[in-house]
Structure 1
Amino acid sequence: MSQQRSALSAVRRLIVKVGSSLVTNQGKGLDNAAIADWVAQIAELRSSGVQVVLVSSGAVAEGRARLGMSERPRTLHALQATAAVGQMGLVRAYENAFAQHGLNTAQVLLTHEDVAERGRYLNARSTLRTLLEWGVVPVVNENDTVSTDEIRLGDNDTLAALVCNLVEAEALVILTDQDGLYTRDPRLGDGAELIHNISLSDARLEAMAGDGMGTLGRGGMRTKLTAARWAARSGASTIIAHGRAERVLNRLLAGEEDLGSMLHADALRVGARKRWIAGQLQARGALHLDEGAVGALSRGGASLLPVGVRSVEGSFSRGDVVRCLAPDGTEVARGLVNYGAEEASRICGVPTREINERLGYVGEAELIHRDDLVLS
C-alpha cells in the first residue's frame, strides 16, 4: 500500500460528491437503493469518527424525471423551475435514508455569491463547521433555483472543492460513473489505462483529462481535475472512483490501492484568506504583466508592483479580485487589488516612486500585496 493511500485511514473530515447520473440512475428518477447504500457507508464512517459533508447533484435530473422531460432544459428559467421540483425529492430521499441510521441531515444550498463575498463565505464556513460539530451530515447542492448565468458555480465538482476549502477537509471523494482517470478516453477505443495514483503536479494530467460531459450533468473529467487542484489548496487529496463499486467509501478510506484514481495534493497548503481568493470564480478584471513580473511572481514571495503591469482590463474597484496574466494570456496568479481600474491604468508600467506624481497620492506601494496574492 502506498503512503498516500494508507494516509486515507487517518482522515477525519471528508467531502463526498455524488454525480447526477448515479443519483438518478441515468435520468430514470432517484435511485433510492443506491442512495441508501451510500448513506449506510457514510453512517459507518460517522460511527468511526469521520465527519462527512455530502455534495449531491441530481435536483435538475430528478425534476426532469418527475416532469417527464426527455431532455435537459436549455433556458435558465426552465432549469431553475426544474431544479425546484427535483430538490424536494432529492432532499427527502437523503433525509429518509439518514434517519434509518439515526443521523440528522441539513440542506445547504450555495451560489457563487456565497463564496465570493467575504462575509457570506465566513458565515457559510461557520454554519458547516457547526453542523459537523453537532454530528449532523450536511447535504450540499448548488442553489439552482436562484443562481444565474453570472453567478452559478458551474458544476458540483467545483462546489465540492470549494466546500472542501470551507471546512478544511482532508480528502475529497468524487463518485462518478467512471472507474477513475484514464490515460485516454476509454470510449475512444482500446489502450486506455486506469491511473490509480498520480501527483497533481504531473504534466501528463492535462492530456489525460478530456472535456467529455454526460447528458445529465455539467462536469466532465477536466472539471474534476480542476476541482482536485482547488481542493489541494487546503491540503486535501482527491479520489475519483465509480460510485457503484461495492462499499466504495469504506474501501477507499481503508486505503485500497487499486480502487479509483487518487490525485495527490503535493502543492503547498495555503491559508484560509488565500483559499478564499483562489476560490473566486469570477474575477472583476485582469492585469496584463510583463515577463519580469511573471518571473518574480512565479518564484514566490513577491508582491505585484505597478512597474510590471503592461495594461489593465475590465472595470474593478479597490479590494476586488483580479487575474494576473502572462504575455501569452495564461493566468499566473490572482489577488485583491489595491487600486481601482482607472487608477491602475494611470500607474501601470511606472516605478513606485512615480505613483504620487501620477495620482497625487500614494495609497499602497503595490498593486497587489503578496499576502493578498495566490499563484495559479
Structure 2
Amino acid sequence: MAISELAEMRAARRLVVKVGSALLVEKGEPRDRWLTALVGEIADLRETGTEIVIVSSGAIALGAARLRLPQGGRANLADAQAAASVGQVELARLWSEALGGRGITAAQMLVTLGDLEDRRRYLNASATLARLIEAGAVPVVNENDSVATEEIRFGDNDRLAARVAQAAGADAVILLSDVDGLYDRDPRIEGARRIERVEGVTPEVMAMASDASSSGLGSGGMIAKLQAARIAERAGIALAIIDGRRERPMGRALETGDGTLFLPQRNEGARKAWLGGRIAPVGVLVADAGCARALAESASLLAAGLTEVEGEFARGDLVAIHGPKGERLGQGLVEYSAAECRAILGLRAEEQAEKLGYAPRAAVVHRDHMVRE
C-alpha cells in the first residue's frame, strides 16, 4: 500500500517494529509494564489485519547486567559476545511471555550480517519469515551478537530492521527510539526543528544526523537510522522514527503525527532492492568524470573509465563505485578480481585481452548487477 502520512502506518499489510535497548531495558532490568503496553498495541494491530515482525535489541544490556560486566557489556568484543549469549535467553523469554499473554506465539530468529548479505541465505531467511507469519506467529528478530565480530556485523538494529523488512516483504518500518525523529541539527541546540517528512535521504539530510545514542545502551544513532531509511526507501518501504519512551508509543505517534516519516522513493525489483540494501562492500572502484556521467544514465561500468581500485576482492563480490571527487555513485557485483581490475585499468576493450590473456567480459560491473545512489 502507498503510505504518505504517519497515520497510514496502522493500515499497513505487514509492519516491522524495531525496539531499541534503552526502551526495553532500564538499569539492567526489563521494563515489563512498558513492554506489556506495547504488546497490547501489537495485538490491536493484528486484530485489524496487520501482520507484525519485531526486531528487538536488548540482549547485550540484559546479559551485561546478569554478568555484572562493565560499560553495559560493550567494553570489548568478548564481553559483548558473552553478554549477548546470556541476554538472548532472557530477551526471548520476555517476548514469549509478553506476546503469549495476548495469545500470540513468539518465534525467535537470530541472524548475522552474512545471512542477509548472501543471496541464498537471504532467500532462506525470507522463506522462514513468510512461513512463520503464515502460521500466525510473530517473529522476533535480533542480530546474533554472540558470534558476530566487529568486521562482519550490522552493529545496529536500525539497518537490520530495514533489511528484515525487505526480506519479509513489509510495507512499513517503525523505529521505536529514545528520540522523536530527525532534527535539522542537534536537537539540544536552541531552534532545532524536527523534520516531519523526508522525501529521499540526500547528502543534505545525512548532514543533519548525529551518530550519538543518547542512552548509552544502544549502538545505533541517527546516522544508522538514516542508513536504514535509505535501505527501506529503495525497496518501496516507508519508514518512521518515533519516540518510544511513552507507554503505547505507536498509537500516540500515529494519532498526533509526532515523528519523522521517510517516504519510499522507488520500488526496484526484489534482487536489486536486496543488492542496494547490502552494507558491506569489500572494495572500491573509482570512475572518471565521463564514466560517472554514463553511470547516471544507466550505463555499465567499463574498464576504460576506471582510474583507481581499492581493496582486495574476487569476481562476484560486492564493490562500491565512487566518482572522481570521492562521491558514492552506487554499488554492484564485480566481474573481475581486484588484480584483474588493476591490470585493465583505463584500457579499452581491444586492449584488455592482451593484459588478461582471454577475451574480456562485457563490463567490470554490468548495469544489471548494479544499483545507483
| TM-score normalised per structure 2 | 0.94
Alpha-carbon offset, residue 3 of structure 1: 4.4
Percent of aligned positions that are identical: 43
Give, as a single letter, the amino acid of the residue that structure 1 aligns with 2:51: Q
Give, as a single letter, the amino acid of the residue that structure 1 aligns with 2:206: E
Task: State the distance in 2 between where 1:263 and 1:228 align.
Answer: 6
Alpha-carbon offset, residue 276 of structure 1: 2.3
Alpha-carbon offset, residue 204 of structure 1: 4.3
Query: What SS does the corresponding residue of 1:238 show, helix, strand or coil?
Result: strand
Residue from 360, 367, 376 that aligns with 2:357:
360
Alpha-carbon offset, residue 244 of structure 1: 3.0
Give, as a single letter, the amino acid of the residue that structure 2 aligns with 1:352: A
Q: Is the 8 A contact 1:103 1:136 kept in 2?
A: yes
Alignment correspondent of 1:282 = 280
Query: What SS does the corresponding residue of 2:71 show, helix, strand or coil?
Result: coil
Alignment correspondent of 2:237 = 236
Q: Is the 8 A contact 2:17 2:173 kept in 1?
A: yes
Task: State the distance in 1 between where 2:317 and 2:185 align.
Answer: 39
Task: State the distance in 1 between where 2:137 and 2:360 align.
Answer: 46
Q: How does 1:107-122 map to 2 (within 5 A)?
A: 107-122=108-123
Alignment correspondent of 1:272 = 270
Q: Is the 8 A contact 2:287 2:322 kept in 1?
A: yes
Q: How does 1:110-189 map to 2 (within 5 A)?
A: 110-187=111-188, 189=189
Output one character per residue of 1:29-63: Cα deviation in whole Å (capped at 9) or x when no partner.
11111111111111111111111110010001111
Alignment correspondent of 2:13 = 12
| TM-score normalised per structure 1 | 0.93
Alignment correspondent of 2:296 = 298
Query: What SS does the corresponding residue of 2:116 show, helix, strand or coil?
Result: helix
Give, as a single letter, the amino acid of the residue that structure 1 aligns with 2:350: R
Flag the 1:365–1:98 CA change in 2: closer, same or farther, 3 A: same
Output one character per residue of 1:174-225: Cα deviation in whole Å (capped at 9) or x when no partner.
00112222222222x4212222222224664223222222310111111111
Flag the 1:222–1:50 CA change in 2: closer, same or farther, 3 A: same
Give, as a single letter, the amino acid of the residue that structure 2 aligns with 1:191: G
Alignment correspondent of 1:307 = 304
Task: State the distance in 2 between where 1:241 and 1:57 align.
Answer: 16
Alignment correspondent of 1:106 = 107
Flag the 1:260–1:76 CA change in 2: closer, same or farther, 3 A: same
Alignment correspondent of 1:326 = 323
Q: Is the 8 A contact 1:53 1:138 kept in 2?
A: yes
Q: Is the 8 A contact 1:161 1:172 kept in 2?
A: yes
Alignment correspondent of 1:62 = 62
Q: What stretches of structure 1 of length at least 5 have no aligned partner? A: none
Flag the 1:154–1:363 CA change in 2: closer, same or farther, 3 A: same
Alignment correspondent of 2:258 = 259
Query: What SS does the corresponding residue of 1:152 show, helix, strand or coil?
Result: coil
Q: Is the 8 A contact 1:29 1:66 kept in 2?
A: no
Flag the 1:3–1:118 CA change in 2: closer, same or farther, 3 A: closer
Task: State the distance in 2 between where 1:343 and 1:197 align.
Answer: 45
Flag the 1:203–1:13 CA change in 2: closer, same or farther, 3 A: same
Cα RMSD (Å) of the superposition? 1.8
Task: State the distance in 2 between where 1:221 and 1:201 align.
Answer: 12
1:45 aligns with 2:42: no
Alpha-carbon offset, residue 309 of structure 1: 0.6
Flag the 1:114–1:251 CA change in 2: closer, same or farther, 3 A: same
Alignment correspondent of 2:32 = 32
Q: How many positions carry a matched residue from both structures?
A: 369
Q: Is the 8 A contact 2:201 2:226 kept in 1?
A: no
Flag the 1:216–1:93 CA change in 2: closer, same or farther, 3 A: same
Alpha-carbon offset, residue 257 of structure 1: 5.1
Flag the 1:176–1:95 CA change in 2: closer, same or farther, 3 A: same
Q: Is the 8 A contact 1:42 1:249 kept in 2?
A: no
Give, as a single letter, the amino acid of the residue that structure 2 aligns with 1:283: P
Q: What stretches of structure 2 of length at least 5 have no aligned partner? A: none
Task: State the distance in 1 between where 2:122 and 2:206 align.
Answer: 30
Query: What SS does the corresponding residue of 2:241 show, helix, strand or coil?
Result: strand
Query: What SS does the corresponding residue of 1:194 show, helix, strand or coil?
Result: coil
Task: State the distance in 1 between where 2:203 and 2:148 align.
Answer: 35
Query: What SS does the corresponding residue of 1:97 show, helix, strand or coil?
Result: helix
Task: State the distance in 1 between where 2:29 and 2:70 align.
Answer: 12
Flag the 1:349–1:151 CA change in 2: closer, same or farther, 3 A: same
Task: State the distance in 2 between where 1:9 and 1:75 align.
Answer: 40
Q: How does 1:170-209 map to 2 (within 5 A)?
A: 170-187=171-188, 189-201=189-201, 204-209=204-209
